[in-house]
Structure 1
Amino acid sequence: MLKLFRFLKPYRLSIAAVFILVFLQSLSSVYLPSLMADIVDQGIVKGDTAYIISAGGIMLLVAIGGTVCAVGASLYSSKVAVGFGQLIRGKLFTHVEKFSLHEFDKVGTASLITRTTNDTNQIQQVLIIILRLMVAAPLMCIGGIIMAFIEDVQLSWILVASIPVLILVIAVIMGKAIPLFRLVQVKLDKLNLVLDEGLTGVRVIRSFDRTNYEVERFDAANLDLTNLSIKVNQIVAGLMPFMMLILNVATIAILWFGSIRINEGAMQIGALMAFLQYAMQILFSLLMVSMMFIMLPRASASADRINEVLAIEPEINDTAQVQEANDQRGYVEFEDVTFSYPGAERPALSHISFTARPGEVTAIIGGTGAGKSTLISLIPRFYDIDSGKVKVDDVDVREIAQTHLREKMGFVPQKAVLFSGTVAENIRYGKEDASELEMRHAADTAQATEFITNMADGFDSEIAQGGTNLSGGQKQRLSIARALVRKPEIYIFDDSFSALDFKTDAKLRAALKKEIQTSTVFIVAQRVSTIMDADQILVLDEGQLVGIGKHRELMDSCKVYREIVFSQLAAEEIA
């Protein structure tokens, strides 16, 4: 947890103010019992009204000052904790945005969400307690002990006997609770994962009539978290009764032996009252420390989980001396490229070499798992290759700043991804400053204008989270419009026409030809009809480039391509 405190630097002055205010508040708390003792012994017992009024006035001022300091400390500590939480969430999000796709898969989306929200909140809450108690508890404990010894040395041995017992109880209970607090966060991750899958996959769940199964999965994960939370809270709940028992026993002992000393004339009534308050302060300061220990284990577990994410060094980083791509526009070249996914038995792509030029359409086709989507993911550098070179404009992509590299591209993913907001905002996601004319032209080219105008508010219509209020074909067309409005040098269409009917597909490809004449275009497709007129077709089979050329050339020279064509033509004729 201490590692995260480096992010508190912007709040150094506020933290210093909290410590000063808490210090002054603690001093007032320690000083008040002494004033009360003087009022009783010097004023009430002797009947000195003037002394009672003057000492009472001082006591009132000290109490008011302590209250003002307490309010100020609460205000500043809350501001520091909330700002710290905001900073941690920002650091996590910014850091995670640099992750490669492999690192996202490694940590898991559900876990990343939990760490950014729940874990950060745990640290935020405990920080408030630390700021308030780190100074107050030790100061009140030490100050109370000193003042108690000043009031009466003999009675102080009761405190000397009570404090070690309290510390032992706290140590035993926290020793059992800390490992369980760590496990609670793991169980929370599991619950979030089940919940995320249950909500995002609701259509599949209902179509296979697996609602009851998913309810059982959720109930099991929920019950697991509940049982563990109950267990750890039962352990922690035992702390308070033990603390109060020791506190009450100490109080009885102080009153018993204190009354004896008063009868003997060795102690005054006011001193006993002050001693009793100091004893309460000492034991309550230890109680506050124990409350901090209740929060610390869970916050410590949360801090470890956040540090785990922040400690992950992104696999893909800009080199120390990044290069700008030269004056060429859209040239893409693969030179003997081999790529493997971490832990895979064999490479996903092996010794791939080809060149794609502006004004040309490069189509990629092959069976399931052939490596089509993997190949195009290497162009924007979503992954780093094992060997060879991927060049854009004659510069290795590893030597180009990632931002500059991706500015050259318009990417349409295999699974259309839309964001909550309006239709216009989703199209302008490709180019933030796109004019109304540019946006509408992109929608026209993507064959999206017709269904957009039929929506309630046209381009201002709201899109639900994940685009659930649109069909698959509509989502694909908006994704294509988002890429088109950018007017990039390189277009990448990853099976982006699969949800379109043949008529819309044909109209879209005809409209695209006019828009992409000067750009380099990559099309991953399952339909042969989509890529037959491509300038070059790459045929992949189990990660190998088994054919490259135009449609007619491949029909003569590539067995894999012929099999794909014949299977599809036969299917179309039957239909």
Structure 2
Amino acid sequence: MIRVLKKSIREYKRDSILTPILVAFEALVECIIPLMVANLVNRMQNGCDLSVIMKYGVILIIMACFSLLFGALAGIKAANASAGFGKNLRKDLFVAVQNFSFENIDRFSASSLVTRMTTDVTNVQMAYMMIIRTVVRAPLMLIFSLVMGFIMGGRLALIFLFTIPVLGIGLGLVIKKTMPLFRKVFKKYDNLNNSVQENINGIRVVKSFVREDFEKKKFNEAAEDVCGDFTRAEKILALNNPMMQFCLYVVMIFVLTFGSYLVVNFGGAIIQVGQLSSLLTYSFQILMSLMMLSMIFVMVTISIESCERIVAVLEEQRTISNPEKPIYEVNDGSIDFDNVSFKYSKRADRYALENINLHIKSGQTIGILGGTGSSKTSLVNLISRLYDVTEGEVKVAGVDVRDYDLVTLRDAVSVVLQKNVLFSGSIKENLRWGNKDATDEEIEEACHLACADEFIEQFPDKYDTHIEQGGTNVSGGQKQRLCIARALLKKPKILILDDSTSAVDTKTDAIIRAGFKKFIPETTKIIIAQRVSSVQDADQIIIMNNGSIEAIGTHDELLASNPIYQEVYYSQNKGGEQDEK
């Protein structure tokens, strides 16, 4: 775990190393100051003149300034190192997620990944700052103060040997009780964030069904659950402070009582007033060091679970990566499925696709029909290698997709997914996701093909119109057409429309398909649709059923021979006739 996390320190190694060095000097100076004060008190007791007092005063002021300087520099360096470490850690997590395949993403919920990049990273960042500063300071202060306590107080310092084990045992019990609670609470954080994410994404559904009260209740239950576990953990951790205070006061009472007795009855033969005052200071420093160590243990206890969750993402092995010698050119849009079977997980009981054999020529238009759950989307996801086949092979331009460079392949295969996503920014910025170097003329041409220009031109700012996050200020049909235009800007060898015209009227759908046929004849076009009208002009129509290919043929061939196609066609046409009446 440490090996993985330390890679994120990178350019902040210097500050991370300087911080404990500066802290060591700060602790050393702070431990010498009580010694100097003890000597001054003893000299004053023996009747020194004002020049001696002035000399010690100057020395103490200089030492205090050095302590302040070292402490301030250590704080600055620790802040730089921890904030930089947190920044790099978030960046590494984000990069890791960006490199995930769909299979990797399926293993983590979106809310869990958000929690890891925010709450978990913050916990680890705070723990790191304490480690490079307080973890060095507390033990050094403890050791220096113990040594100086025995030097100055002799046998009186034996009291520390009784209090330290008591505190150590108490601290161990506290950690043992709180660790399981913190492990539980972070999993509940994921559930809480998931509730928030679902509510925000589906806020229109929530309001349309008047389910605000239900959502509030669900959120409150999740929040109360998190609060309950945190409260139980904090109640146990709260024992730290009174335990420390009790030991501190016991030590102070013991030192004052027996130290004063020795001073009064033995006249400084065993211990002097200066030594007694310094011993009190050292006892305070020892117990404060122990208190700091307890705080460190608490923070580390909280952060260990966060560390494990972060490392789980960073160590997740990508299931899809480039081959050793990738191919960087896709010659055409031909597609071949040879004995392909696929399941989403090795542990899955059944295949999503089984025994698929399919051959598509470059430039053909292919329609895919099938009921919900017939694995239409699973089939096309294999073409751009969003998932890898379990058995068999998928070829594009006669080459196994696993032999291509991933960027090259996905640039050649443009997919308009079933769930259309637009990002906050202008229409032009969204469209340039397809081609960052696209000219205004190319953008307008793509929008014309997708029939998006007709509504874009009606906006006051036209192509500079701002799109809200998720495309909430455009209709479903407009969003689909913008996504199609974005895909066309890639100038792909293969264009896949995964039910991407479902929100578009039949007339616009027909115009889009006619445009494809006229302007991109060499591009292989695969159209997944629910409407027969969207695919009936295709060169071949594939009927999917339960993860297998039920039939392949033209509209006329399937209408004459395939019961599934006949049922869909006649039910839709009958519905159309009734609508017309």
Aligned to 1:207: 208
Superposition TM-score, scaled by structure 1 size: 0.97
Q: How far apart are 1:317 and its partner, in Å?
A: 2.1
**Greater shift in the superposed pair: 201-210 or 269-278:** 201-210
Instruction: Establish whether residue 499 from structure 1 lines up as the match of residue 503 from structure 2.
Output: yes
Instruction: Give 1:29's aligned amino acid.
Output: E
Aligned to 1:24: 25
CA distance in 2, matches of 1:215, 1:473: 32
Instruction: Give 2:349's aligned amino acid.
Output: E
Q: 8 Å contact 1:414–1:494 — kept in the other structure?
A: yes
Q: How far apart are 1:206 and its partner, in Å?
A: 2.2
Aligned to 1:286: 290
Instruction: Give 2:89's aligned amino acid.
Output: I
Aligned to 2:146: 145
Q: How far apart are 1:515 and its partner, in Å?
A: 2.8
RMSD: 1.5
CA distance in 1, matches of 2:158, 2:343: 71
Aligned to 2:160: 159
SS in 1 for 2:176: helix
SS in 2 for 1:537: strand
Instruction: Establish whether residue 489 from structure 1 lines up as the match of residue 490 from structure 2.
Output: no
CA separation of 1:73/1:503 partners in 2, compared to 1, >3 Å: closer, same or farther?
A: same
CA distance in 2, matches of 1:178, 1:57: 49
Q: 8 Å contact 1:412–1:492 — kept in the other structure?
A: yes
Provide Cα deviations, 1:519-553, integer angstroms capped at 9, x if missing partner. Answer: 11111111111111111111111111121122112
Q: How far apart are 1:325 and its partner, in Å?
A: 4.2
Instruction: Give 2:482's aligned amino acid.
Output: L
Instruction: Give 1:460's aligned amino acid.
Output: D
For structure 1, list consecutive stretches of 5 or more residues without a partner in the other structure. none
- Write the mapping of 1:174-213 to structure 2, written as runs, cut at 5 A: 174-213=175-214
Provide Cα deviations, 1:182-227, integer angstroms capped at 9, x if missing partner. Answer: 1111111110011111111112222223222111111110111111
Q: 8 Å contact 1:325–1:392 — kept in the other structure?
A: no
SS in 2 for 1:546: strand
Aligned to 2:2: 2
CA distance in 2, matches of 1:103, 1:307: 14
Instruction: Establish whether residue 468 from structure 1 lines up as the match of residue 469 from structure 2.
Output: no
CA separation of 1:253/1:463 partners in 2, compared to 1, >3 Å: closer, same or farther?
A: same
- Write the mapping of 1:429-444 to structure 2, written as runs, cut at 5 A: 429-444=433-448
Instruction: Give 2:124's aligned amino acid.
Output: I
Instruction: Give 2:334's aligned amino acid.
Output: Y
**Greater shift in the superposed pair: 115-124 or 304-313:** 304-313
Percentage of identical aligned residues: 39
Q: 8 Å contact 1:325–1:395 — kept in the other structure?
A: no
Q: 8 Å contact 2:78–2:133 — kept in the other structure?
A: yes
Aligned to 1:546: 550
- Write the mapping of 1:89-128 to structure 2, written as runs, cut at 5 A: 89-128=90-129
Aligned to 1:68: 69
CA distance in 1, matches of 2:153, 2:390: 77
Aligned to 2:398: 394
Aligned to 1:306: 310
Provide Cα deviations, 1:80-112, integer angstroms capped at 9, x if missing partner. Answer: 111111111111111122222232222111101
Q: How far apart are 1:44 and its partner, in Å?
A: 5.6
SS in 2 for 1:350: strand
For structure 2, list consecutive stretches of 5 or more residues without a partner in the other structure. none
SS in 2 for 1:429: coil
Q: How far apart are 1:404 and its partner, in Å?
A: 1.5
CA distance in 1, matches of 2:519, 2:275: 92
CA distance in 2, matches of 1:221, 1:455: 43
Aligned to 1:217: 218
Provide Cα deviations, 1:220-239, integer angstroms capped at 9, x if missing partner. Answer: 10111111111111111111
Q: 8 Å contact 2:12–2:80 — kept in the other structure?
A: no
**Greater shift in the superposed pair: 525-534 or 542-551:** 542-551
Aligned residues: 574
Aligned to 1:427: 431
Q: 8 Å contact 1:15–1:77 — kept in the other structure?
A: yes
Q: 8 Å contact 1:410–1:488 — kept in the other structure?
A: yes
Decide which of 446, 449, 453 is 1:445's aligned counterpart. 449
Q: 8 Å contact 1:170–1:239 — kept in the other structure?
A: yes
CA distance in 2, matches of 1:35, 1:346: 79
Instruction: Establish whether residue 254 from structure 1 lines up as the match of residue 255 from structure 2.
Output: yes
Q: 8 Å contact 1:236–1:294 — kept in the other structure?
A: yes
Provide Cα deviations, 1:433-460, integer angstroms capped at 9, x if missing partner. Answer: 1111111221222111222233342222
SS in 2 for 1:523: strand
Aligned to 2:564: 560
**Greater shift in the superposed pair: 457-466 or 270-279:** 457-466
CA distance in 2, matches of 1:356, 1:84: 51
SS in 2 for 1:496: coil
CA distance in 2, matches of 1:465, 1:45: 79
Aligned to 1:52: 53
**Greater shift in the superposed pair: 282-291 or 398-407:** 398-407
Superposition TM-score, scaled by structure 2 size: 0.96
Instruction: Give 2:202's aligned amino acid.
Output: G
CA separation of 1:405/1:383 partners in 2, compared to 1, >3 Å: closer, same or farther?
A: same
Instruction: Give 2:284's aligned amino acid.
Output: M
